[in-house]
């Protein structure tokens, strides 16, 4: 968080008054930034390059404020007052008397440098010149002026009126009072600021764009569909939108420039080299929401409403009915957390369940755990007593695999060891009837290894449930190169019958969610290790700038640092991507026994809170 303006260098400082500001470029970001200022009572001179662009910017602003009025979030009179504060102009000359300018033109260094040189000439000497750049060097932009000490980065997040975070980027020459004044201004705008130095991608984009690019790569290589990639991250991680929908919101042209700059400025990390598909889409005019089409198709340019197109999956019911096998009875093998949750999920959904554990004692424990969990549902009024009893009545308890001879589906959730799983699948192959679907819940082992322990790999699939299974709405359906289309369709139909979303993906380490999530967490650790920012500010940046439900360090402490390290190691070993190498700090914390909440200490000390 920012240093209080009053305490700068021990002397009292009165924060500068910003009565009028200028915004240059009224595209995706600029129009939103104008709205932020005008909403907070600041007069704005809004500048574009041409009359047509100016009208587009004006339309974006009125569209956004009209929507706020329609939703009851803004009174009509306040909207009118807001709009009356904005003076729309073509050309930079109109900015001669503003106190601060924020530039939000396309992400090209030469363009920004030209504009800053011109702003330096036009604006009054004491005016602060700010850039909203996402990835370019603020320092390089500042040296195009004769007042680099008054140049600063003010990086808003998209959509600017909604997202709370502002990254304030201080260069080595930005003066302390300029930083303090801008921090005070951010507070006045109701924003939370984090102040950082000038590094490619700052905090949030440095952590976000590798993830976005990776997700586009998954889509480009047909690893999973756009809907499944986005659903996986929304439902598996609680993100406000999936990565491809976010690319459309950011704008593919802007995203391309950001990635390209980050690749060049950020040590040529291959993960930032833009996936070729992005450039192709930009060339084809598929820029995302702003052009009406990107990864998805929108009602019209600028609209957030997605409409069906030729890639939209056909409506489920009939499609699923074709080629799926009827599943009535389900065997669940195992007695741990996942098996227990999965038994509950199937029984509650009306399936006959055969639970196989390693003995009566284990079965009794699982029974108690399922009963306790179902009782919670009764207490909360989500389940009737009769439904609870019926669900419990549908579970048959066994300690021998032979009882799985007649089930239609087996879900294996035993210990995460390949030799154990392979032996189990070999036994299931001997015991189970032909046509059974055999599923593993492994989160890290190759499903094909398990499948090849049987004589029927076409019937083997991964069903990767998330913890806690009764609550998490996502299941990754992992198809190997030997899984039949019928088996995959059956698995997807089962997910739907459980009231969950099944996303289909290939058999690669981390599937969709972990492959996209853990490298991002690992990058956050590397950023902390490099002392670029603090754990608190990095957590704030991702929560308030990108809408994540938890910051990376909060999440790492919940998941467990040992678990996170193990997943990251596997991703690194399978994909051999140098950028995936586990952060040394993560390894050291695990070695020191700081595993997160479960040991009382991870990135934070939980014993003191």
Ligand X SMILES: NC(=O)c1ccc[n+]([C@@H]2O[C@H](COP(=O)([O-])OP(=O)(O)OC[C@H]3O[C@@H](n4cnc5c(N)ncnc54)[C@H](O)[C@@H]3O)[C@@H](O)[C@H]2O)c1
Range 242-281, binding ligand X (CB under 6 A): 250-251, 254, 258
Residue 319 touching ligand X (CB under 6 A): no
* Per-residue tokens: 541: 């940046």
Range 350-379, binding ligand X (CB under 6 A): none
- Pick the closer one to ligand X by CB: 29 or 356: 29
DSSP H or E stretch at residue 516:
helix 513-529
Q: Minimum Å distance from CB 52 to ligand X?
A: 9
Residue 25 touching ligand X (CB under 6 A): yes
- Pick the closer one to ligand X by CB: 282 or 513: 282
- Pick the closer one to ligand X by CB: 24 or 535: 24
Our answer to whether residue 205 is catalytic in this structure is: yes
Residue 189 touching ligand X (CB under 6 A): no
| Contact status, residue 28 vs residue 108, Cβ threshold 8 Å | no
| Contact status, residue 139 vs residue 172, Cβ threshold 8 Å | yes
Q: Tell which residue, 146, 147, 143, 189, has the closest CA to residue 168.
A: 189
| DSSP-derived pairing of the beta strands 501-505 and 151-156 | unpaired
Among 105, 541, 589, 590, binds ligand X (CB under 6 A): 105
Q: Minimum Å distance from CB 172 to ligand X?
A: 21
Residues in binding contact with ligand X, number by CB under 6 A: 27
The alpha carbon torsion through 277, 278, 282, 285 (nearest 10 deg) reads 60
Our answer to whether residue 155 is catalytic in this structure is: yes
- Pick the closer one to ligand X by CB: 31 or 235: 31
Q: Phi, psi at residue 411, to the nearest 5°?
A: -115, 120
Range 43-62, binding ligand X (CB under 6 A): 47-49, 53
Q: Tell which residue, 521, 502, 514, has the closest CA to residue 225.
A: 502
Q: Nearest-CB residue to ligand X?
A: 27
Q: Minimum Å distance from CB 79 to ligand X?
A: 22
Sheet containing strand 352-356, edge to edge, reads 395-398, 352-356, 329-333, 409-412, 437-440, 460-465, 474-478, 501-505
- Pick the closer one to ligand X by CB: 298 or 425: 298
Residue 26 touching ligand X (CB under 6 A): yes
Residues 569, 584: Cα–Cα separation, whole Å = 12
Contact window for ligand X (CB under 6 A) among 104-112, 453-461, 468-476, 538-546: 104-112
- Pick the closer one to ligand X by CB: 42 or 255: 255
Q: Minimum Å distance from CB 78 to ligand X?
A: 25
Among 95, 98, 104, 353, binds ligand X (CB under 6 A): 104
Residues 204, 105: Cα–Cα separation, whole Å = 20
Contact window for ligand X (CB under 6 A) among 41-49, 63-71, 295-303, 465-473: 41-49
- Pick the closer one to ligand X by CB: 26 or 86: 26
> Contacts from 156-159 at CB under 8 Å and sequence distance 24+?
156/29, 156/32, 156/33, 156/36, 156/132, 157/204, 157/544, 157/545, 157/546, 158/28, 158/29, 158/32, 158/249, 158/250, 159/32, 159/64, 159/249
- Pick the closer one to ligand X by CB: 29 or 128: 29
Residue 327 touching ligand X (CB under 6 A): no
Task: Collapse the DSSP code of 165 into the 3-class scheme (helix H, G, I; strand E, B; otherwise coil) and give the result.
Answer: strand
Residue 408 touching ligand X (CB under 6 A): no
Among 15, 21, 23, 29, binds ligand X (CB under 6 A): 29
- Pick the closer one to ligand X by CB: 265 or 598: 265
* Per-residue tokens: 206: 């440095």
Among 106, 276, 584, 593, binds ligand X (CB under 6 A): 106
- Pick the closer one to ligand X by CB: 261 or 564: 261
Q: Which residue has the tokens 């306790």?
A: 372
Residue 206 touching ligand X (CB under 6 A): no
Given 107, 155, 214, 291, which residue is catalytic?
155
Among 23, 24, 343, 516, binds ligand X (CB under 6 A): 24
Q: Minimum Å distance from CB 48 to ligand X?
A: 5
Q: Is 269 left (phi over 0), alpha (psi -120 to 50) or beta?
A: beta
Residues 139, 169: Cα–Cα separation, whole Å = 10
Q: Minimum Å distance from CB 101 to ligand X?
A: 11
Given 134, 137, 291, 533, which residue is catalytic?
134
Given 167, 227, 344, 570, which residue is catalytic?
167
Where are the strands (E) in 405-490, listed by range? 409-412, 437-440, 460-465, 474-478
Among 28, 64, 195, 509, binds ligand X (CB under 6 A): 28
Q: Minimum Å distance from CB 209 to ligand X?
A: 11
Q: How many CB atoms lie within 10 A of CB 225?
A: 18
Residue 445 touching ligand X (CB under 6 A): no
Given 205, 213, 522, 564, which residue is catalytic?
205
Residues 346, 330: Cα–Cα separation, whole Å = 8
- DSSP assignment string, 527-582: HHHTTSS-HHHHHHIIIIIH--SS-HHHHHHHH-HHHHHHHHHHHHHHH--GGGSP
Q: How many CB atoms lie within 10 A of CB 410?
A: 26
Range 132-171, binding ligand X (CB under 6 A): 132-134, 155-156, 158
- The catalytic residue positions are 134, 155, 167, 205
By CB under 6 A, name the binding residues for ligand X: 24-30, 47-49, 53, 104-107, 115, 132-134, 155-156, 158, 250-251, 254, 258, 290
């Amino acid at each position: 968080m920012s240093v209080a303006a009053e305490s700068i260098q021990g002397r009292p400082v009165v924060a500068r008054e910003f009565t009028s500001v200028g915004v240059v470029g009224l595209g995706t970001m600029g129009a939103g930034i104008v709205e932020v200022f005008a909403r907070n009572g600041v007069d704005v001179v809004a500048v574009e390059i041409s009359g047509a662009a100016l009208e587009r910017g004006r339309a974006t602003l009125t569209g956004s404020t009209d929507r706020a009025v329609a939703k009851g979030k803004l009174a009509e009179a306040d909207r009118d007052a807001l709009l009356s504060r904005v003076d729309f102009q073509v050309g930079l000359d109109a900015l001669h008397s503003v106190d601060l300018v924020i530039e939000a033109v396309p992400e090209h260094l030469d363009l920004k440098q030209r504009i800053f040189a011109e702003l330096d000439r036009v604006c009054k000497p004491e005016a602060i010149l700010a850039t909203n750049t996402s990835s370019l060097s603020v320092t390089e932009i500042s040296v195009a002026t004769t007042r680099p000490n008054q140049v600063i980065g003010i990086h808003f997040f998209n959509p600017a009126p909604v997202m709370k975070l502002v990254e304030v980027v201080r260069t080595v020459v930005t003066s302390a009072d300029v930083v303090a004044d801008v921090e005070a201004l951010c507070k006045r705008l109701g924003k939370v600021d984090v102040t950082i130095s000038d590094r490619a991608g700052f905090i949030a984009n440095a952590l976000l764009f590798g993830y976005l690019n990776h997700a586009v790569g998954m889509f480009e290589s047909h690893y999973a569909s756009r809907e499944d990639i986005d659903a996986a991250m929304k439902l598996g991680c609680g993100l406000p939108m999936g990565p491809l929908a976010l690319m459309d919101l950011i704008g593919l042209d802007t995203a391309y420039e950001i990635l390209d700059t980050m690749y060049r400025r950020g040590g040529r990390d291959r993960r930032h080299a833009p996936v070729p598909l992005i450039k192709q889409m930009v060339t084809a005019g598929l820029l995302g929401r702003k052009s009406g089409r990107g990864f998805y198709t929108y009602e019209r340019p600028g609209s957030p409403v997605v409409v069906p197109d030729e890639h939209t999956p056909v409506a489920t019911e009939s499609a699923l009915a074709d080629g799926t096998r009827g599943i009535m009875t389900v065997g669940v093998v195992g007695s741990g957390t996942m098996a227990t949750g999965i038994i509950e999920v199937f029984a509650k959904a009306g399936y006959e369940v055969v639970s196989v554990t390693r003995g009566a004692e284990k079965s009794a424990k699982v029974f108690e755990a399922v009963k306790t969990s179902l009782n919670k549902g009764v207490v909360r009024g989500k389940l009737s007593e009769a439904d609870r009893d019926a669900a419990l009545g549908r579970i048959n308890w066994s300690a021998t695999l032979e009882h799985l001879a007649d089930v239609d589906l087996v879900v294996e959730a035993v210990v995460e060891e390949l030799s154990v799983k392979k032996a189990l699948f070999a036994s299931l192959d001997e015991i189970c009837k032909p046509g059974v679907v055999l599923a593993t819940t492994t989160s890290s082992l190759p499903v094909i290894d398990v499948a090849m322990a049987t004589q029927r790999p076409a019937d083997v699939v991964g069903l990767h449930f998330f913890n806690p299974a009764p609550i998490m709405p996502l299941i990754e359906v992992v198809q190997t190169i030997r899984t039949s289309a019928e088996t995959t369709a059956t698995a997807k139909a089962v997910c739907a019958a459980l009231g969950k979303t099944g996303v289909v993906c290939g058999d690669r380490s981390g599937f969709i969610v972990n492959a996209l999530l853990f490298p991002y967490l690992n990058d956050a650790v590397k950023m902390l290790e490099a002392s670029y920012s603090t754990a608190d500010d990095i957590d704030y940046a991702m929560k308030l700038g990108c809408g994540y439900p938890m910051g990376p360090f909060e999440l790492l402490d919940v998941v467990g640092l040992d678990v996170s390290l193990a997943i990251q190691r596997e991703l690194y070993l399978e994909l051999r991507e140098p950028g995936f190498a586990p952060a040394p700090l993560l390894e050291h914390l695990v070695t020191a026994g700081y595993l997160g909440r479960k040991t009382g200490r991870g990135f934070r000390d939980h014993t003191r809170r």
